[in-house]
Structure 1
Amino acid sequence: MAKAIMIQGAGSNVGKSMVVAGITRALTNRGLTVRPYKPQNMSNNAAVTVDGGEIGRAQALQALAAKVPAHTDMNPILLKPETDTGAQVIVQGKRYATLRARDYAKAKPDLLAPALESFQRLCAAADVVVIEGAGSPAEINLRKGDIANMGFAEAAGVPVVLLGDIDRGGVIAQLVGTQVILPEDDAARIKGFAVNKFRGDVSLFDEGVRAIEDRTGWASLGTLPWFADAWRLPAEDVMDIASTKGGKLKVAVPRLARIANFDDLDPLSAEPDVSVEIIDPGHPLPGDADLVLIPGSKSTIVDLAHFRAQGWDIDLKAHVRRGGHVLGICGGYQMLGTEIADPEGIEGAPVTVAGLGLLDVKTVMKPQKRLALSEATYRASGDAVSGYEIHLGATEGPDCERAWLDLNGRAEGAATANGQIRGCYLHGLFNADAFRATYLSELGVTAQMNYGADLEAVLDRLAAHIETHLDLDQLLDMAAEPSL
């Protein structure tokens, strides 16, 4: 059976996902068979897997780092927030239920079994499984029934390395304080620690490392300097979306309250001649934008109301009058139509609402979610596109007669007669270099990136960064066969 090691964080957003991706690629480059795993994730930025389910985007990136297709076993429990107090629960890639936070806490013990089942399958096919925790084990109020951190580590019998974030300050307190607050058995599972996101000369923190070692008895695996190319890796958390400015073409993206599957922005952000500006609530859509891209949404009708509450509907119509282009993807596509109907109350109470009215199409929400890896062709040029579909609802109307994609043998998308406004359900279409080059050329700029090759190069640089600054030999010595 494989050896396993779990990377937990001394807080949220300490860089666990990136570090696990780097470790996974570094060990893969050493010739080991590696699989990433996260028992429970919370994200609306999902990826569709080769086995027809969905997992968190971070685990899909980690699968790429391991040079294997993403599989639902890599993230068996995925929580997709729909409201401030409830989320859709995905188990081994498929919808399980929509639960309030209190009800999910009661359901967690039942979800440990499928989480362990997926973990065992990964262990059977790997030399090493690198596990990512969620949040922090110091949240001891969540320890009962936990399946994301120490609860999983205990059930699977795996050792833990604790990761701290020095960039936010107080990293000694983060790490030492975690040991102090944990129950004795949980603290004993931690075999070592590492410090992430150091800016400057790492030797200046040598005394801090010794202070942590002296107070915890844990071994230091190293201090990781700030990884400058981190922004080039796909973001999973909506709070990690960052604007990139300076290009000739300005793309404005409204930050929807329930924004989902925003990885469509990553290839555009990587282009030197493209500025992607994330527009926060309370701020107008910029009048000098060339393209307004409305991204996916976990709750389209709620986000449409949010869109209008910001006055973005008025800004968008002014943008169109000035000759600006509009692209809606998935939920954004649905919003651009004349009507969205939810007769069965899939997203809440049964309701029919008026859309933005920029495309002559109507959407009806349906209970069956479409999940598919898809191949398409851009009709205007014949460029091949690969992507994925992950949506509820079907969209029809006169503007669908101007479908601009052939998707798995069927027409897909809608457009106005002049092509100024378009929508489609296909995520990931900008990953295709030829299509992205054609699309950007229509907007007056030249594409310069080979996105897939660039992402692979960033992962290899991340792996080299990990090899240089983290003691991977010691990490492998700490790893152990699970005691399931």
Structure 2
Amino acid sequence: MSDEYSATNVSAKTLMIQGTTSDAGKTTLVAGLCRLFANRALKVAPFKPQNMALNSAVTPCGGEIGRAQALQAKAAYVELDVDFNPILLKPNSDTGAQVIIHGKAITQNKGVMEAEQYHDYKKIAMNAVLESHHRLTEQYQLIVVEGAGSPAEINLREGDIANMGFAETVDCPVIIIADIDKGGVFAHLVGTLMLLSQSEQDRVIGFVINRFRGDISLLESGLTWLEERTNKPVLGVLPYLHGLDISSEDALITQQQLNNKTESKQKVRIVILVFPHMSNHTDFDALRLHPEIDCQFLFAKNPQIAVSIPACDLIILPGSKNVISDLTFLRHQNWHQDIAKHLRYGGKVMGICGGYQMLGQTISDPHHVEGNITYCEALNYFPITTELNTSKTLTNVEGQLYLQQRNVTIRGYEIHAGISQFVNGSKEKYQALLTIEGKKHGLLSDDNQIAGCYLHGFFDTTEALGLIINWLGSDINQAVSVEELENIAINRVSDACQQYLDMEKIEQLLSDWYKC
């Protein structure tokens, strides 16, 4: 730990969760621990020093953080804060990403950096991380930290701010979690530990094994071996929680699974186009989780082979972190032709954020905010042109959705760099999809077949979802809201932590660490 940082540190405790791999269960475990400790009347904050994800949320002050930290904040019963995720990287190519610090995109290089550039920028980023962590230690009793990927990535060790580099700097203990469902759990844990420096190994206070199925007695000999081999305790074995509906941080749900979904129940079919730079796929959790909606993500696994859009009631063009590139991809898949055919047969189309921009006439990126292409023709369904700007709109909103000669309240958030304007003479002629603070927002085509707007979270309000399904010519029962389902899931994880983790030992190890 640096003397400079320790001199300003205060009494709050910090516990870090690192994983042997991506998707080992770090996000979920942090959420469960936040809820468990918060239920014990501790003031708890989630924290992720550096997050790389295209799913983000807007804080009340107009900043941007990863949706995983928004979930964890909900688990801790605290309002969203940019300090929960001081560094957010939003990839817009295979090698580059927009860099967001304390909720705002940096102004250097129009906010976008290549991987090599960001490596040189890490010292500045670490200062931002430590500023946020220090502010949280002044407000909270416990900070539960989520690492990123694996701490054993040898090529990323130098200048690390996401895993052990952070833990060493703030001198906090670490628990390592591994996913047994993937296989090789003992190799993952032992191998990860062996690739750490001695000081890093010393701060690992134990292991958690995640997603176990079967008879625990068959695992016990392996647990004993692991503890003897590493001289580290196994602090618990969490079971595989079937049907756990917690938003995935960056991995898109690929299975159209749900235990209560049957073809006889499904009333509408919705297809969501998956772009290479698709953002905020959590927009569609309400559709995916509803038992009466057949919601499918359409993947083009081989970009060189076109995959046709199947027959459906609604095609959704989602958000994008590189709109022009994704629009080019859409055309390469011949999806623009499929969309036109779908509309000729009376189907409906909706665009959200970047997808809304694609439905306009043109998209320009004169400042190269998202890529190297400065201009392209769009799909020409709406009389709007969009120009991408270096500044970004970040706001939580509430408004009225107008469809089927009815209106209902709708809530959501806007995250976009584009500014869309109407072509000459069209502004007063169009039909707005929404009103926000009394102003028209979004578009609905004259033939009632095409809708679009900038609003993320569009389907999360149950009344709005019901009205959209009415627009598709059907009706559904009002299901439990996504927010309530998420809360139920958080409680399930918290209960599992209470039951299957040795919480008394974890608290003792944490207390002993801060007595030293």
Q: Deviations over 1:257-288 (max 9, x none)?
A: 00011211011111110111111114634432
Q: Which residue of 1 aligns with 2:6?
A: none
> 1:402 Cα deviation (Å)?
0.9
Q: Is 2:390 aligned against 1:371?
A: no
Q: Which residue of 2 aligns with 1:391?
A: 416
Question: Which of 410, 416, 439 does residue 410 from structure 1 map onto?
Answer: 439
1:302 alignment partner, SS class: helix
Question: Which of 128, 151, 154 does residue 142 from structure 2 map onto?
Answer: 128
Q: Which residue of 1 aligns with 2:4?
A: none
Q: Which residue of 2 aligns with 1:420?
A: 449
Q: Is 2:271 aligned against 1:252?
A: yes
> 1:482 Cα deviation (Å)?
7.2
2:222 alignment partner, SS class: helix
2:269 alignment partner, SS class: strand
Q: 2-side partners of 1:2 and 1:367: how far apart?
A: 38
Q: Which residue of 1 aligns with 2:370?
A: 347
Question: Which of 307, 316, 324 does residue 347 from structure 2 map onto?
Answer: 324
Q: Which residue of 2 aligns with 1:237?
A: 250
Q: Which residue of 2 aligns with 1:437?
A: 466
Of stretches 373-382 and 15-24 in structure 1, the one that deviates more from structure 2 is: 373-382
1:477 alignment partner, SS class: helix
> 1:170 Cα deviation (Å)?
0.4
Q: Which residue of 2 aligns with 1:463?
A: 494
**What amino acid is aligned across from residue 198 of structure 1 in structure 2?**
F
Question: Which of 178, 186, 190 does residue 176 from structure 1 map onto?
Answer: 190
> 1:184 Cα deviation (Å)?
0.9
**What amino acid is aligned across from residue 270 of structure 2 in structure 1?**
V
> 1:40 Cα deviation (Å)?
0.4
Q: Is 2:310 aligned against 1:280?
A: no
Q: How many residues align?
A: 482
**1:271–1:447 CA contact under 8 A, matched in 2:** no
> 1:126 Cα deviation (Å)?
1.6
Q: 1-side partners of 2:172 and 2:497: how far apart?
A: 22
**2:308–2:333 CA contact under 8 A, matched in 1:** no
**What amino acid is aligned across from residue 446 of structure 1 in structure 2?**
I
Q: Which residue of 2 aligns with 1:289?
A: 312
Of stretches 323-332 and 378-387 in structure 1, the one that deviates more from structure 2 is: 378-387
Q: Which residue of 1 aligns with 2:116?
A: 102
Q: 1-side partners of 2:253 and 2:147: how far apart?
A: 18
Q: Which residue of 2 aligns with 1:51?
A: 61
Q: Is 2:288 aligned against 1:269?
A: yes
Question: Which of 66, 72, 88 does residue 76 from structure 2 map onto?
Answer: 66
5 Å matches for 1:33-44? 33-44=43-54
**1:339–1:363 CA contact under 8 A, matched in 2:** yes
Q: 2-side partners of 1:265 and 1:365: how far apart?
A: 25
> 1:411 Cα deviation (Å)?
0.9
Q: 2-side partners of 1:417 and 1:56: how far apart?
A: 37
1:111 alignment partner, SS class: helix
**What amino acid is aligned across from residue 365 of structure 2 in structure 1?**
D
> 1:330 Cα deviation (Å)?
0.1
2:219 alignment partner, SS class: helix
**1:272–1:448 CA contact under 8 A, matched in 2:** no
Q: TM-score, normalised by structure 2?
A: 0.90
**2:430–2:445 CA contact under 8 A, matched in 1:** no
**1:49–1:70 CA contact under 8 A, matched in 2:** yes
Q: 2-side partners of 1:220 and 1:348: how far apart?
A: 47
Q: 2-side partners of 1:74 and 1:391: how far apart?
A: 21
Overall identity of the aligned pairs, in % = 40
Q: Is 2:174 aligned against 1:160?
A: yes
Of stretches 281-290 and 366-375 in structure 1, the one that deviates more from structure 2 is: 281-290
Q: Is 2:465 aligned against 1:446?
A: no
Q: 2-side partners of 1:179 and 1:341: how far apart?
A: 49
Q: TM-score, normalised by structure 1?
A: 0.96
Unaligned runs of 5+ in 1: none
2:479 alignment partner, SS class: coil
CA distance 1:242–1:29, change in 2 (3 Å): farther
Q: 2-side partners of 1:193 and 1:160: how far apart?
A: 9
Runs of 4+ in 1 over 6 A off after TM superposition: none
1:478 alignment partner, SS class: helix
**2:45–2:144 CA contact under 8 A, matched in 1:** yes
**2:112–2:369 CA contact under 8 A, matched in 1:** no
Of stretches 372-381 and 63-72 in structure 1, the one that deviates more from structure 2 is: 372-381
Q: 2-side partners of 1:447 and 1:337: how far apart?
A: 33
**1:292–1:326 CA contact under 8 A, matched in 2:** yes
> 1:102 Cα deviation (Å)?
0.9
Q: Deviations over 1:58-113 (max 9, x none)?
A: 00111111111211100000111011111111111011231111111111112111
Q: 1-side partners of 2:514 and 2:118: how far apart?
A: 27
Q: Deviations over 1:171-206 (max 9, x none)?
A: 000001111121111111101001011122233211
1:382 alignment partner, SS class: strand
Q: 2-side partners of 1:30 and 1:275: how far apart?
A: 40
> 1:350 Cα deviation (Å)?
5.4
1:80 alignment partner, SS class: strand
1:83 alignment partner, SS class: coil
Q: Which residue of 1 aligns with 2:322?
A: 299
Q: 2-side partners of 1:175 and 1:283: how far apart?
A: 41
CA distance 1:350–1:294, change in 2 (3 Å): closer
**2:322–2:371 CA contact under 8 A, matched in 1:** no
**1:34–1:130 CA contact under 8 A, matched in 2:** yes
2:420 alignment partner, SS class: strand
Q: 2-side partners of 1:328 and 1:314: how far apart?
A: 16
